[in-house]
Structure 1
Amino acid sequence: MIKLIVTDMDGSLLDDDKNLPVGFMDTLEELRRRGVHFVVASGRSYVSLQHYFSHMEHPPVCICDNGGCMVYRGEVVRARLLPEQKVQKILALRRRLPGLRMTLCCENGTFYESAGPVHDERMHFFYPNATAVEDLEQVRDRAYKIGMSDELEPEKNSMPVLHEMFGDSLSFAMSGERWVDIADAGVCKGEAVALLQRHWGISREETMAFGDHFNDLSLLERAHYGYAMENAVPPLLAAARYTAPSNQVGGVQQVICQRVLQTGAVRSVAAGGE
């Protein structure tokens, strides 16, 4: 029996236009009625997720910043922060290596160094509380993670240097082709899910999870029913036990309705179709 469902947001629960599946709030209410915990696990900060669920009477727990913090009813209930000394050393790399751009995701906001209007617009889409600053090293706020964009490919440019500097004392999550989220050692979606499983007394065999990118691998490992989305990166598809239909056709909702609620196929999850 499934007692816990955890899903990534972008590329998994949300379609490419960043919309929830049609009727998903009714699905959430039915899960709640049946005593099934529903949790969101995203690389995004809570401020960019809250409009999806904050209006609900029973909002889900949100694992944010790839496990850096956990939020329930708008309150941070758990935080794993990067030590300040590590933050400063990581930020200094952008002056040593070409092609790097960094974002500080902190307790009181998100901070970045502007690279023009297009960059600013993108930052404010994913981080509504983003603030442009002249020098990230002057920010005095505690960070959950550092988002690093590497135009010269992380595997070739920045990652070897970071591994040499920090060894196993940092966690790295690939959340895009050239985007790496950096957190303290052990911080990941799967570690946060394990904490919830212990808190609620739920086993791996009673857990279902969905993801589409490299940063979801630890999430799927915590669930016997681990689903890679049909649109997932090939390594995740290869590692996952199960495959869900694409995010564009409401694949997460389809699997939940068929496998957990047992209500059959979901209608009208894609524009103009069944």
Structure 2
Amino acid sequence: MIQLIATDMDGTLLNPEKKLPQQLPALLEELYHRDITFAVASGRSHMALTSLFGELAEEIIFICDNGACVMYPHEAPLLHSLPSATVHRVLDLCQTLPGTVPVLCGFHNIYYPADANDAMQEEIKRFYLQFKKVAYETLYTVDEPILKIALCNMNGPEQETYPAMQNAFGDDYELLISGDCWMDIMRKGITKGAAVTALQERFGITAAETMTFGDYDNDISMLKCAEFSYAMENAPERVRAHAKHLAPPNTENGVVRVICETLGIHLDDI
């Protein structure tokens, strides 16, 4: 019996226009009546996630910044910030990688360099809110704790950005490719999977009672936590290999469809 559902957002729950499924409010109400815990697990920061859900956000568990920020309803957030010295080292290395733009993700604000080109700025604005565009040297003086560093490379992070960061930080930090143009850096042990495991332990829920959905590398740790693990049909093969099941793509409302089919909920009724 399913007791916990955790889903990624971009490429998974959200449609290509970055909108939530129209059936979601009614589905969440049905899950609430069945005492099924619903969690959102995303690389996005909490500002972007909670704004998407509006009033629905009040009763949802949010695993933000790949687990660097976890928000339970009506509780103080659990935060895992990076050491300032590490943030500075990443900024130094980014200056040697011309195609890479660092985005510093704090709990209250997002910071990125003002000299990022227009295409990169548009890409950043697709996923983040409450951002501050500052001079590159100002990034070194941000006094807000940084939960995650997202690195944007419009040519993809695999060729240059990820190898450079892996060489410099791979032994001591979590490095994950999180999108076509993105990779993320968090504290060691901070992943979506670790956050889902903490949820299971808190509520006494087993992997056999857990359903997870994801479409990219940063979802793999979460897929491993569930017996009912679903990679989206639009996911790369390297991600599908870690899931026990395949869900219809996000373009076909795959997450909602699988949940309803598994739990015997009729879409027409919601």
Sequence identity, in percent? 39
Which residue number corresponds to residue 112 of structure 2? 112
Which residue number corresponds to residue 33 of structure 2? 33
Which residue number corresponds to residue 79 of structure 1? 79
Which residue number corresponds to residue 265 of structure 2? 263
Change (3 A) 1:57 1:211: closer
- SS at structure 1 position matched to 2:25: helix
- For residue 189 of structure 2, what is the amino acid of its counterpart? G
User: What is the CA–CA distance in structure 2 between the aligned matches of 1:167 and 1:17, rounded to whole Å?
Assistant: 34
Which residue number corresponds to residue 56 of structure 2? 56
Q: State the shift of 1:13 in Å.
A: 0.8
Superposed CA deviations along residues 132-182 of structure 1, whole A, max 9, x for unmatched, are 000222222210100112356534423333333334211011112331111
Superposed CA deviations along residues 9-50 of structure 1, whole A, max 9, x for unmatched, are 111111111122222111100101110000000010111111
Counterpart of 1:215 (choices 198, 214, 218) is 218
Contact 2:224–2:242 (CA under 8 A) maintained in structure 1: no
1:130 aligns with 2:137: no
User: What is the CA–CA distance in structure 2 between the aligned matches of 1:24 and 1:187, rounded to whole Å?
Assistant: 28
Which residue number corresponds to residue 272 of structure 1? none
Superposed CA deviations along residues 77-133 of structure 1, whole A, max 9, x for unmatched, are 211111111111111112223322110001220000132444334333321201100
1:160 aligns with 2:163: yes
Please report the RMSD computed on the Cα atoms of aligned residues, expressed in angstroms: 2.1
Q: 1 or 2, which has the higher helix percentage?
A: 2
Q: State the shift of 1:53 in Å.
A: 2.6
Counterpart of 2:195 (choices 189, 192, 195) is 192
User: What is the CA–CA distance in structure 1 between the aligned matches of 2:121 and 2:161, rounded to whole Å?
Assistant: 23
Q: State the shift of 1:233 in Å.
A: 1.5
Contact 1:209–1:223 (CA under 8 A) maintained in structure 2: yes
Change (3 A) 1:214 1:223: same
Superposed CA deviations along residues 200-257 of structure 1, whole A, max 9, x for unmatched, are 0101111000011111101101111000111111211222100111111211111111
The number of aligned residues is 267
Contact 1:123–1:130 (CA under 8 A) maintained in structure 2: no
User: What is the CA–CA distance in structure 2 between the aligned matches of 1:268 and 1:117, rounded to whole Å?
Assistant: 45
User: What is the CA–CA distance in structure 1 between the aligned matches of 2:57 and 2:246, rounded to whole Å?
Assistant: 31
Instruction: Identify the range of structure 1 (149-158 vs 174-183) with the bigger mean alpha-carbon deviation.
Output: 149-158
User: What is the CA–CA distance in structure 2 between the aligned matches of 1:57 and 1:153, rounded to whole Å?
Assistant: 32
User: Any gaps of 5 or more consecutive residues in structure 2?
Assistant: none
Relative to the length of structure 1, the TM-score reads 0.90
User: What is the CA–CA distance in structure 1 between the aligned matches of 2:161 and 2:100, rounded to whole Å?
Assistant: 8
Contact 1:54–1:74 (CA under 8 A) maintained in structure 2: no
Relative to the length of structure 2, the TM-score reads 0.91
Change (3 A) 1:196 1:148: same
